[in-house]
Each structure stands twice: as structure tokens, then as C-alpha cells.
Amino acid sequence: ELLYYRAGLQKQVVRKLRRGKFSIEAELDLHGMTVAIAKNALADFMKNCVLRQLRCVRIIHGKGLGSKNKEPVIKNKLNKWLQQRDDVLAFCSARPIDGGTGAIYLLLKTN
């Protein structure tokens, strides 16, 4: 399960995100992609989210069941990529109905 949030973000906001209480304003499906293609798709998606000033999105990364070692390659890369971005406030694994540990809810900074 993934969970990340910036220092200073209210615990109540994180709790609300984990419970799926924010409206999902856009979605990106990365599963089945190579790491290089997924990285480019994520960069394009994030640029679009910032331009549209979206607050909460879902990213489907898959569980790694189709990878060579049956391990979540994209999920692990996504965890690192998103933590390096200034526009990311928090992210966590989605509720089972929204993809569970194969997807995340992502909370973005808005101006």
C-alpha cells in the first residue's frame, strides 16, 4: 500500500483522501506500459492537471502481475516520481472499488 503526504498537510485531509472522499477529476491508466512510456505519459498528464487546476486525480499503475518477476515495477517508480514533484500534496492507494493497491488517489496543489 502506498501512502505519502507533505509535512504540514492536515491529517484530516489525508484521512479524507484515503477514504476516497474527494471527487476524481481525471484519470490516467499506466498499467501495461513500459517504464519509459509511463514516465512520459505521467509528465504529460501532470502538465495537463496543473493547467486545468485539478485537485484530485486517480492513477492506475497495476499490481505488477504481468511483469517479469510479478512485482509492481510502475507502482514503485510512480512512488518515487511523485514524491519529487512540488505540485503533489499527497497520494495513497485507492479503495478496492477504485483499484485498490493497483491505483492511487493523488491530491495536487492548486493556485
Region of 59 on the Ramachandran plot (φ > 0 left; ψ -120 to 50 alpha; else beta): beta
Alpha helices in the chain (DSSP H): 11-18, 35-51, 73-83
Each residue's pLDDT expressed in tens, for the chain with a length of 111 residues:
999 999 999 999 999 999 999 999 999 999 889 999 999 999 999 999 999 999 999 999 988 677 777 778 899 999 999 999 999 999 999 999 999 999 999 999 987
**In angstroms, what is the C-alpha Rg of the chain?**
13
Q: What is the pTM of this model?
A: 0.93
Q: Long-range CB contacts (< 8 A, 24+ apart) of 43-46? A: 46/85, 46/87
Nearest-CA neighbor of 74 among 84, 85, 65, 61? 61
